[in-house]
Amino acid sequence: MNRRHFLKVAGVSTAAAAAQGCSTRRGPDKVIAYPASSETNKPGISTEFATVCRECPAGCGLIAIARDGRAIKVDGNPDHPINAGKLCLRGQSSLQGLYNPDRLRGPLARDEHGRLAPISWEEAEKRLDASLGSLNGKSVAWIGQVETGAFDRLTDAWLAAVAPSSTRIRYETYAYEPLRAAAGAMLGQAVIPRFRIDEARTLICFGADFLETWLSNVEYARQFGEWRRARTEGKHHGRYVFIGPRLSLTGANADEWIAVRPGAEEIVARALSLLAAAKGRVPAEAASLAESAGVPVETLSRLAREFASGPSLALPPGSAQDGPRAVAVHEAVLRLNQAVGNVGRTVLVDAPHALSTASRHQETMSLVSDMREGKFGALFVHRANPVYALPPSAGFAEALKSVPEVISFSSYPDETTALATLVLPDHTPLESWGEYSPRSGVNGLMQPAVAPVFDTRATGDVLLASAARAGHNLGAAEFREYLRKEHGGDDAAWAALLQLGGAFSEPAPTPARAAAPLSAPSGPAPVPVAPADGRLVLHIYPSLHFYDGRTANRPWAQEIPDPMAKAVWGSWAEIHPDAAKRFGVQDGDVMALETAAGRIEAPALLTDRVVSGVVAIQRGQGHTNLGRFADGIGVNPLALLPAVVEPASGALVVSGGDVAVRKLAVRRPPVVLQTSMKQVGAAIARAVTVAQLAWTRRKGGLNGEGGEEEGPLRGRKNPSLYANAQHPKHHWGMAIDLDTCLGCNACVASCYAENNVPVVGREGCSRGREMSWLRIENYTEEGASGLLRIQAKKPADTGPRTNLTRFFPMLCQQCDNAPCEYVCPVDATVHSSEGLNMQVYNRCVGTRYCSNNCPYKVRRFNFFPPAFEPPLDQQLNPEVTVRSKGVMEKCTFCIQRIEAGKVQAKAEGRPVRDGEIRTACQNACPTDAIVFGDLKDENSRAAQLAKGARGYGALEELNTLPNVTYLARVRAE
């Protein structure tokens, strides 16, 4: 052993000792014996576990990154066919589900005072056996989410074993019943079809929020990204037209928004079918339909021509539009697809979505009436929260009182669990074994990434043990074993399956069906809903952040601003300025909304992103019993819904009812983080039309009027006394494609998780102290009326309009001539030789001068010590410092990932490969809009993209020499 080697070894062991010494976090977990490191737990080294995201029924594949026994990050599983490595905000927030401070820490049962009090698992099992033993021949009800595979079968087997009879509800808030019913009528199979956006050219969406919650938002966002990218590359000239009463995030990504009143979607769909079938002529019926929908027939005729001309796709309305004629609308849309031969090409019934098995609303309602009649001796609730997710008028909470034993398996204290008599908390998905198959051919396997954080038990284990105690052998003692047996095969195959994250195969191609002759629509065309005087039509839409409300107790979901309203921590009612004028309402005034079923109060948010007859409220807030971050925040608009169902499918009617609106003498403006949606002066988010793009390509860049230099260094002349930044080895940079940025906030959530960004709460946000390192700015193009908080002269109501929304991810631009750097008196922010603008937290004294001088306003100051309520602190990334009060922080392109990549490359004795280092935001982005790389390497993807004709630097006229290049959005004319 020579001296150098000795030092190396010593260095390593000291570092290891230091790492242990540094670990000051305390939790209820066991101390890990470092010498006994296993394959899945090497001290200080991250282990990746492939599993499945169960935050919604989409079933994306997850890679959970665990280190020293803690899950610190989740990313998408690149091998999973649904999400291909991408992950949305809700999926990112699963970490805060795992480490949620409000999680149930062990079993609970009603004590003599009627309160839920902690008990031991032995006691809990006795209580469970007792309640099963005292059924007296009564039936058992099980209400749980849609499950597939082992747990699905186990539930059935257990119910059959322990109960004389049982009813099982596969409860899903968004069960897409009208779509299933319409598919049954039109396509012959009452299932949820698969849609191929990426195979289409012209895209018409009748309101489905396919970039937010609809069916499988990451999958469709990916496809949509492909569609946009192909168009920008000139592979097609399709347009995407959004039709609906409210411009959702999904709509904001359209080229054109045809604003219609609620209920007019069906009329437009019918008109389009007629026009498409008429091949250029304008049938009289189509003209009258267009008139009744308030849309010029020329617009529809042009759209129908485009739609019929090639592979196209019409997407149905979303869950927000489940009105009294929901099935008819869906049928009209499917008929439109049929008319041009899309079925079998872009609308596929080859692999029905798992949601097709969800119980229908009618089944739930008959369960409720059975409960009320006392038919059940016990009700089991597993990963469902019907008390919250059903309108109060459904009477679920009341019916629960007629069930003697309500046993909840919930991991969280939700509204249903609050009414339970016995709570046997399940692990959260990241601690669980399981499987989920969102559609045939895709079966994701779940494995625990961490040991259970609390004294919870897998429900599968509880069921198996309970059956065993009752003398039934269901095939295994533990659920893990049960799952393993279901899959068979040897251990190596099983390990390989777990490593991959499941078994995946593409469904066999089915032949495309020929364009069917236009079938006659059922019944006469409806008339659009027009509200009576003093009333507005209610539009309740699903939430990108909260889905149906289940993720509302996660700080990230609350604190990251809503993509459209840019509001946080609350509810708001969107109304059109014309309607606001009618009711004398100003921005921020609280309005009382009232129906026969109930009354809510919400502050008005004036926007021309809804038509004037509508008041739109997001679902998912207004919890009473979900935890500290959700309770008392906002309102639940479901309180307004009467128990009305759609006649054809039996689905709950969510939209189309009207509400009485009254202005209250209270002002409580929602906390909106974006002050202005209009760009003044400098065009920060730029766009080009297709024609301009061709011109710009010839000219060589957006700014270069024939400039010689191209790409990231284009026009970089820095007249300065000081030496220009030198980049001897690497020059890290980023290219952000505004064309494929959907504004979905996935990157923001990923950044929060990766970089230990603290959450400041409603109070902090209202005082402009949010800490987000990366934000999505939402601008409207020059010339358009501002879309939010506007004083527009006369915003249009219904009819077609060019959609001028632009999303702009703003993060530290890592300027090579950084204004923040020269003003810092203590050199706490300095430039690295690799082009990074680094922040030295422990040198920072907090003059905040750097933030003042940052034109992008991306620096964040710790006004207070950061708060990570235990056990949320267990999620903190040990690679990133937790900043103390009084220091500045900001994005550094995930410098910890850069360093890890460099170390890896060095250890392997090779240069860093392009694409090997990925920032957290890049990893999450469903459309690959963010590309990080080495600009020094001419062939890196980032450098290639930055060189493109659409590239420009934000505010580059300030000579900041940013290392982030934005690629202008492309607009169809």
- Using the contact rule CB under 8 A, the part of the chain among 396-404, 546-554, 677-685, 903-911 near other proteins is 677-685
CB of 699 to other proteins, least distance (A): 24
Looking at beta carbons only, is 181 or 760 nearer to other proteins? Answer: 760
**Is the separation of the CB atoms in 788 and 607 below 8 Å?**
yes
Q: Where are the alpha helices (DSSP H) in 248-402?
A: 249-252, 264-278, 284-293, 297-308, 326-339, 361-372, 386-389, 396-400
Shortest CB 667 distance to other proteins, Å: 13
Question: Rg for the chain (alpha carbons), in Å?
Answer: 28
Q: Which is nearer to other proteins, 321 or 862 (CB)?
A: 862
| Shortest Å, Cβ 764 to other proteins | 8
Residues 798-817 close enough to bind other proteins by CB under 8 A: 810
**Subset of 752-791 contacting other proteins (CB under 8 A):** 764, 767-770, 775, 777, 779
| Cα–Cα distance measured from residue 515 to residue 520, given in angstroms and rounded to the nearest whole number | 15
- For every residue of 867-933, DSSP letters joined together read ---TTGGGG--TTSPPP-TT-EE---S-HHHHHHHHHHHHHTTSPPPTTTS--HHHHH-TT--EEEE
Nearest residue (CB) to other proteins, 730 versus 789: 789
User: What part of residues 878-907 is at the interface with other proteins (CB under 8 A)?
Assistant: 885-888
Complex with other proteins: residue 454 or 856, whichever CB lies closer: 856
By CB under 8 A, the residues from 694 to 753 that bind other proteins are 722
Is residue 676 part of the contact set for other proteins (CB under 8 A)? yes
Local structure of residue 91 (DSSP, 8 states) = H
| Choice between 421 and 679, CB closer to other proteins | 679
Does 826 interact with other proteins (rule: CB under 8 A)?
yes
Among 846, 896, 905, 972, binds other proteins (CB under 8 A): 846
Question: Does residue number 845 form part of the binding site for other proteins (CB under 8 A)?
Answer: yes
The pattern of x and - marking residues 439 through 478 that bind other proteins according to CB under 8 A reads ----------------------------------------
Cβ 844 to other proteins shortest distance, Å? 7
For residue 567, the minimal CB distance to other proteins (Å) is 12
Least Å from the CB of residue 670 to other proteins:
11
Residue 698 makes CB contacts below 8 A (sequence gap 6+) with none
824 in contact with other proteins (CB under 8 A): yes
Q: What is the 3-state secondary structure (H, E, C) of 214-266?
A: CCCHHHHHHHHHHHHHHHHCCCCCCCEEEEECECCHHHHCCCEEEECCCCHHH
Instruction: Between 313 and 568, name the residue whose CB sits nearer to other proteins.
Output: 568
**Cα separation, 813 vs 773, whole angstroms:** 11
Nearer to other proteins, 695 or 864 (CB): 864
- Angle between helical axes of 284-293 and 264-278 (0-180°, round to 10): 150
Footprint of other proteins on 325-364 (CB under 8 A): none
DSSP 757-768: ----HHHHHHTT
| 684 interacts with other proteins by CB under 8 A | yes
803: closest CA among 541, 573, 564, 540? 564
Name the residue nearer to other proteins (CB basis): 664 or 682. Answer: 682
Short-list 651, 647, 725, CA closest to 961:
725
- CA nearest to 920, candidates 806, 778, 773, 742: 773
Task: Enumerate residues 73-132 that contact other proteins by CB under 8 A.
Answer: none
961 dihedral zone (left: phi>0; alpha: psi -120 to 50; beta): left
**Residue 677 C-beta: closest distance to other proteins, Å:** 7
Cα(205)–Cα(53) distance, rounded to whole angstroms?
27
Residues 114, 488, 524, 681: which binds other proteins (CB under 8 A)? Answer: 681
Span interacting with other proteins, options 193-201, 308-316, 706-714, 839-847, rule CB under 8 A: 839-847
**Whole-number Cα distances in Å, 161 to 124, 136, 857:** 20, 15, 62
- Site size for other proteins (CB under 8 A): 54
Q: What is the four-CA torsion angle of 67, 72, 73, 77, rounded to 10 degrees?
A: 30
Q: Locate all alpha helices (DSSP H) within 354-441, ordered by sequence.
A: 361-372, 386-389, 396-400
Binders of other proteins among residues 8 to 37 (CB under 8 A) are none
- State the minimum distance, in angstroms, from the CB of residue 817 to other proteins: 11
Residue whose token pair is 């009143």: 261
Q: Binder to other proteins among 111, 291, 373, 827 (CB under 8 A)? A: 827
Residue choice 822, 896, 905, 911 for contact with other proteins (CB under 8 A):
822
201 phi and psi angles, rounded to 5 deg: -110, -70
**Least separation in angstroms between CB 852 and other proteins:** 5
In angstroms, what CA-CA distances link 117 with 114, 428, 434, 484, 631?
9, 21, 29, 35, 20
C-alpha–C-alpha distance, residues 884 and 870, integer Å: 17
CB of 431 to other proteins, least distance (A): 35
CB of 939 to other proteins, least distance (A): 33
| Binds other proteins by CB under 8 A, chosen from 682, 691, 694, 867 | 682
Question: Which residue number, 126 or 678, has a Cβ lying nearer to other proteins?
Answer: 678
Question: 62 vs 810, which CB is nearer to other proteins?
Answer: 810
Angle, CA 583 vertex, CA 581 and CA 587 arms, to 5°: 65
Q: How far is CA 957 from the centre of its chain?
A: 35
User: Toward other proteins, which CB reaches closer, 184 or 886?
Assistant: 886
Q: How far is the CB of 761 from other proteins (least distance, A)?
A: 12
Spell 845-861 as b/e; 16+ CB within 10 A means b. Answer: eeeebbbeebbbebbbb
Answer for which of 843, 870, 906, 938 binds other proteins (CB under 8 A) is 843
List binders of other proteins among 849-868 (CB under 8 A). Answer: 849, 851-853, 855-857, 860-865
As a dihedral over the C-alpha atoms of residue 48, residue 52, residue 54, residue 60, rounded to 10 degrees, the angle is: 110
Q: How far apart are the C-alpha atoms of 966 and 735, rounded to whole Å?
A: 6
Output the smallest distance, CB 878 to other proteins, in A.
Answer: 24
- Among 337, 679, 740, 814, which residue interacts with other proteins (rule: CB under 8 A)? 679
Residue numbers of the site for other proteins (CB under 8 A)? 672-682, 684, 722, 764, 767-770, 775, 777, 779, 810, 819, 822-827, 843-849, 851-853, 855-857, 860-865, 885-888, 955, 958
